[in-house]
Amino acid sequence: MAGAIASRSLLFLQGIIVARQLGVEGFGIYSMVIALIAVMTNFAGFGLGTALMKFLPEWLIKQPQKAGSILAHCLMASVVSSLIVAALYLFAAPILAARVYARPDLIPYFELSGLIVLTLSLFYMTTSVLAAFQSFGEYAWRMTAGYALQFVAVWVGVALYGLKGALTGLAIGPAAGSLVALQGVWKAAAENGVSLDRREWKWSWPIMKSVLSFAVPAQMSGYVQTPVFWFANTLLALHWGFREVGIYNVAYVFYQGVIFIPSKLSLPALPLFSEVQSTADSQRFNRVLNRNLRGMWVLTLPLCLMVALLGRTAVTMFFGRVYAEAGSLVLLTSFTALWFVATNALVISIASMGKMWDILVLNIAWNSIALALAWYWISRFGSLGVAGAYFVSYLVFWTLLRVHTERRFSWRFVGNTRLMFLTFCTLVAAYLGISLLGPRLSLGLAAVVPSLVVWVEWKWVLGVDDREFLKALLAEGIVRLAQRSKN
C-alpha cells in the first residue's frame, strides 16, 4: 500500500511539474503523445504480462520444472515484440505528425516516443513477472523505485529542455526501472526454485503456443480499449486544438489518482483468482469474487466523492488558474474511475478462467459505445464531451459485464443492492454540492461527507465477512488476503 501511494504521488507531482512548465497547449501536445505511446506500449506488450500472471502461479503448483520455460519464453517474446513495435512506430512518426495532426513540427517528439514505447514495455513486463511470482513486497518497492527514477528524469528534462526533455526523461526512467526490476526477477525465481539456465531459454513452439493461446486474446481485448483514449484526444485536438486536450488531461489526472490504489490492489488478484480457479470450487470462487468486488467498490466510492468535491480547488492550487476549466470535469472523471474499478474487478475474474475471448467481445461492445459517444459529443462539447463519453460508456460496460457473467458463468452478485443505492446517493450529493456551493463550502463537505460514506459502508453495506476481508486487504495486504480467501 505504501509503495502504491508513493508511486501515485510521484506520478501526480510529475504531471503538475510538466503542466506548469509547458503551459496549457504544450501540456496538450505532451498528453497527446502520451496517449499514442499508451496505444503502442499495449500492442508491444502483446498480452504476455497478463499471460504470465495467469500461467506462472498455476505451473508453480502443477509443474514447477515448466515454470522456468514459460518465464523465459515470455521474456524473450516481450523483448522481440517491443523492438518490432518501437521500430514500426519510429517509421510511422512523420506520417502521424504531418498528415494526421498537420503539424510537421511535432515529428521529433513522435520519433522520440518510439524509444519510450520500448523502455516502458520492458518495465511493465519485468514488474509483471514479480506480480506473477506473488513477490508483492519486491513488486511494490521496485515499482516505486522505477517511478522515482522516471520522476527525476522527467523533472530535470522538462526544466532544461521543455517538451523534448520531458519525453527524454520518460525514456530514461523506465529503462533504469527495468534494470532494478530485473534484479528482483532473478531473486524471485531463485526463491521459488525456478531455473533460468540455458535449457530454459531454448525455443519451444508448444510452450509458446500455450502462452499465445491466452496472450493473443488478452492482447486484443486490451488493445481494443487503449485506442479509444488516443482517438478521443485526437478528435479533441482536431476540433478544438491542443489547448482543450491539455484541459481534459488535467481532469484525467484525477481519474488516474482515484483508480491507482484500487488498481494496484487488484493487480495481484489475477494470480489469486487463478489459484482459486485451479481448485474447481465454484462456491469459493463466487465468494471471493463478491468480496473482492465489494472491497474494491467501497474503497473507491469515498475517494470519488472526496476528489469530486475538491476538484475545482485542487486544479487551481496544483496546476494553476490557467487550467481552471478542468475543475468542472473532475466530477465526471472521478466517478468514471468507480465504474472502471468495478469493471476491472470482473474482467480480472474472467481472465483467471482463461475466457479472454469473452473479454474481447465485451470490450468491442464498450469500444463501439465509447467511440460513438465521443464522435457525437466532442465536436459539440469539447473536453466535456470526452468526460461524458467515458462516464456513460463505462457505466454501460459495467452493466454488460454483470449480465454476461450471470448468464454465461452463473455468477451470483449478492449483497450489492445497498451499495448501489449508496453510490447513487453519493453521486447526487456530489453533483448538488458542486453545483450549489462555492469552492470553499465544497472543501468543507470534502472533509465531512466522505467520512460519513465510509461509516455507512461499514455499518450498513458490509457484512461481517466483508469487513474481515477489507481489514485483511488494508492492514495485511494481498498476501494475507490470499490466505483468508481459503477459509
Query: Residue 424 half-sphere exposure, CB side, CA atoms within 13 Å?
Result: 6
The pLDDT of residue 156 is: 95
Coil, strand, or helix at residue 46?
A: coil
Query: Cα dist. 51→48, 75, 141, 200, 267 in Å?
Result: 5, 11, 23, 18, 13
DSSP string of 184-228, one letter each residue: HHHHHHHHTT---SGGGGS--HHHHHHHHHHHHHHHHHHHHHHHH
DSSP string of 122-181, one letter each residue: HHHHHHHHHHHTT-HHHHHHHHHHHHHHHHHHHHHHHHHHHHHHHHHHHHHHHHHHHHHH
Q: Could you tell me if 398 and 419 are in contact, meaning their C-beta atoms sit under 8 angstroms apart?
A: no
The pLDDT of residue 131 is: 77
Q: Could you tell me if 149 and 98 are in contact, meaning their C-beta atoms sit under 8 angstroms apart?
A: no
The pLDDT of residue 76 is: 84
In whole angstroms, give the CA distance from residue 211 to residue 352: 14
In whole angstroms, give the CA distance from residue 323 to residue 317: 10
The phi-psi region of residue 468 (left if phi > 0; otherwise alpha if psi is between -120 and 50; otherwise beta) is alpha
In whole angstroms, give the CA distance from residue 234 to residue 28: 10
Query: What's the residue count for the chain?
Result: 487
Query: In this structure, what C-alpha cell is assigned to residue 264?
Result: 494496484
The pLDDT of residue 479 is: 44
Q: What are phi and psi of 366, to 5 degrees?
A: -65, -40
Residues 469, 473, 478, 483, Cα dihedral to 10° = -30
Domain-by-domain residue ranges, the chain?
1-203, 217-487
- The model's pTM is 0.81
Which amino acid is it at 175? A
In whole angstroms, give the CA distance from residue 440 to residue 93: 46
In whole angstroms, give the CA distance from residue 476 to residue 471: 8
- What lies within 8 Å, CB to CB, of 290 at 6+ separation is 412, 413, 414, 415, 416
In whole angstroms, give the CA distance from residue 200 to residue 323: 53
Low-confidence ranges of the chain (pLDDT < 50): 476-487
The pLDDT of residue 273 is: 62
- What lies within 8 Å, CB to CB, of 431 at 6+ separation is 331
In whole angstroms, give the CA distance from residue 236 to residue 11: 24
Locate cell 475538491: which residue? Answer: 310
Q: What is the pLDDT of residues 186-229, one digit of tens each?
A: 887 777 777 666 666 677 777 777 777 777 776 776 666 678 88
Query: Cα dist. 421→3, 361, 398 in Å?
Result: 33, 29, 16
Q: What is the pLDDT of residues 227-285, one digit of tens each?
A: 888 999 999 999 999 999 999 999 999 998 888 777 766 655 555 566 666 665 667 77
In whole angstroms, give the CA distance from residue 311 to residue 442: 9
- What lies within 8 Å, CB to CB, of 195 at 6+ separation is 65, 68, 189
The pLDDT of residue 487 is: 39
To 10 degrees, what angle do helices 417-436 and 439-456 make? 170
Distance of CA 216 to the CA centre of its chain: 19
Q: Where are the alpha helices (DSSP H) in 267-382?
A: 269-278, 282-314, 330-352, 356-381
Which amino acid is it at 487? N
